[in-house]
Amino acid sequence: MGKADSLSMGEKRVLKALEDSPSRTPAQIMASGGFKELVEVMNAASWLQSKGLVDIKEEVVYRVSLDKEGSLYLKEGFPERKLLKALGDSPDGSIPMEKVKELMGKTVAGFSVGWLKRKGWAEISGKGSTQALRITDGGRKALGASSPDEEVLRFIYEMNEVETTDIADKAALELLKMRKEVVKVRDEVVRHIILTVKGKEVLAEGLEIKDEVTQLTPAMLKDGKWRNMAFRPYDIDTFAPKAKGGKLNPLRVITEEIRKIFLHMGFTEIDYDMVQPCFWNMDALFIPQDHAARDLQDTFYMKDPSRIPVDPKMADIIRKVHEDGGGTGSSGWGYRWSKEEAEKVVLRTHTTVNSIRYLAEHPDPPAKLFTVGRVFRNEAVNFKHLPEFQQIEGIVMEEKASFRMLIGLIKEFYSKMGFEDIRIRPSFFPYTEPSLEVDAKFLGKWMEMGGAGVFRPEVTEPLGIRHPVLAWGLGLERLIMIRYDVKDIRELYFNDIDWIQASPLL
């Protein structure tokens, strides 16, 4: 029996399609080989691969197209370009910061100034009320020329959709990807079916493509038709794929491992709704109502329900804290607090909302709590950011809780998770003081894993809490990326069965 005799009709047609071109995509083979569906091609190619007659190679191709903000910028120009022109038209090349806000609007002014500084087109001079935005020499040169990111945006528009490999200025593309809804990047897995040396030998023998019967039926025996039929020889050496049992997704595995660690450390698990009023998500945590995190660019606001009523007595306590400190020893933020703003509804931006709600209901020590739950932020999607991700939240409230204890708890947690290269560094958050950030080594570089600190008096005292509260919020996906050597956070949610099957159990 020749090597070709045991091949199915589909396998023979795939080999024939590769005879003139030894590397083709499944779509090309489907067209030239007379297949009706791609699944038929891939099924036949998989069997040929198991027999060593073809190889199947996969590569991920990233394609870029304009998003809605990108189309707007292409038509009206980048916001920082408008501000740059205003600086260029100014007699002394500067505009007071208050005028900048009037010209651009408070929200747009913030990131426009940020992009001007990033590009080296402007700088801020002066302090307080005398602060002004001033054009630089680089900014004056940019007045008469397009910037690299503007050129790349135009190129994407002209091509309609382009592969990232076709964009020469990768740095400019990264700048565009950092902006929200300017460009869309979609990934596509491209497969190539490649004829092997063994496959060429089979083709050299000659392939006769004819109808063959693979199974003898009672009907064929009864009417005698089997005598005139060609039967495909049975190959006892044909590859049979190994049966694989089910396996949990690494996200589930790590989540359960984290739960066990905290439960063994004496913590209790809690959770609250993912839909929360701004009052609990931000105001109760002493985050001012004009903080950048409250902008639509950073937070998802709900339309239905658009408001959740807040207890008037609690609202008045928090109002005083924000406006003048409310007797906490702080001077507050010094603005007029709005109950309407506090009642707006958001998808929770952090799991700390669970901790603060629990503490408001249970102000007396001790408390050792944790949450592993989903949070939502209006982030630009890239290799380490998603608009929906999971946080590892924890708090400890007891009489002698200290910052040193907090550092010890975090180090103990990461040690139990198998991490050795951990760095603790000072940081700032509106609701903790002192504060820290946790970094871990990933691909030879430090990756931020999350933040922690001791709740400020402006957070605890209004709730009747009289003892220190240690709090932390750590990233789950980034922890998994390091444990499983995943270089792109999006891969965790691709539902790649092969990756799940190949992932280690421990």
CATH number at residue 90: 1.10.10.10
> Both 440 and 371 in a single domain?
yes
> Both 366 and 497 in a single domain?
yes
> Both 430 and 481 in a single domain?
yes
Residue 234 lies in a domain: no
3 pLDDT band (50/70/90 cuts)?
low
* Mean pLDDT, rounded, of the chain: 88
Residue 233 lies in a domain: no
211 pLDDT band (50/70/90 cuts)?
low
Rounded Cα distance between 354 and 271, Å, is 6
Where do the DSSP E strands lie in 402-501?
422-429, 432-442, 445-455, 469-475
**Are 69 and 76 spatial neighbours (Cβ–Cβ below 8 Å)?**
no
Rounded Cα distance between 41 and 43, Å, is 6
> Both 419 and 471 in a single domain?
yes
> Both 378 and 456 in a single domain?
yes
What ranges in 224-289 are assigned the alpha helix state H? 250-264, 278-281
71-80, 236-245, 378-387: range with lowest mean pLDDT? 236-245
Mean pLDDT of 447-471: 93
104-113, 239-248, 341-350: range with lowest mean pLDDT? 239-248
> Both 178 and 98 in a single domain?
yes
For residue 312, the enclosing domain spans 275-347
pLDDT of residue 5: 66
φ, ψ at 452 (rounded to 5°): -160, 170
Q: Could you give the 3-state DSSP secondary structure of residue 281? A: helix
Residue 1 lies in a domain: no
pLDDT of residue 241: 67
- Note the pLDDT tens digit of each residue in 155-186: 999 999 999 989 999 999 998 998 888 999 88
Number of domain units in the chain:
4
444 pLDDT band (50/70/90 cuts)?
confident
Query: Between 382 and 167, whose confidence is greater?
Result: 167
Residue 98 lies in a domain: yes
Rounded Cα distance between 335 and 313, Å, is 19
> Both 329 and 356 in a single domain?
no
CA 381 to chain CA centroid, nearest Å: 5
Residues with Cβ within 8 Å of residue 405, at least 6 apart in sequence: 396, 470
380 pLDDT band (50/70/90 cuts)?
confident
> Both 296 and 359 in a single domain?
no
What CATH number is attached to the domain comprising 462?
3.30.930.10
- The terminus-to-terminus CA distance of the chain in angstroms comes to 47
pLDDT of residue 1: 46
Q: Percent of the chain beyond pLDDT 70?
A: 94
Please tell me the pTM assigned to this model: 0.58
239 pLDDT band (50/70/90 cuts)?
low
CA distances (Å), origin 339, targets 78, 317, 328, 419: 35, 11, 20, 44
pLDDT of residue 387: 87
60-69, 233-242, 348-357, 364-373: range with lowest mean pLDDT? 233-242
pLDDT of residue 187: 87
77-86, 104-113, 116-125, 255-264: range with lowest mean pLDDT? 104-113
- Closest by CA to 478, choosing from 390, 348, 349, is 390
Give the range with max mean pLDDT: 28-37, 236-245, 306-315.
306-315
Residue 238 lies in a domain: no
> Both 136 and 281 in a single domain?
no
107 pLDDT band (50/70/90 cuts)?
confident
- Closest by CA to 26, choosing from 188, 161, 159, 206, is 188
pLDDT of residue 236: 66
> Both 163 and 72 in a single domain?
yes
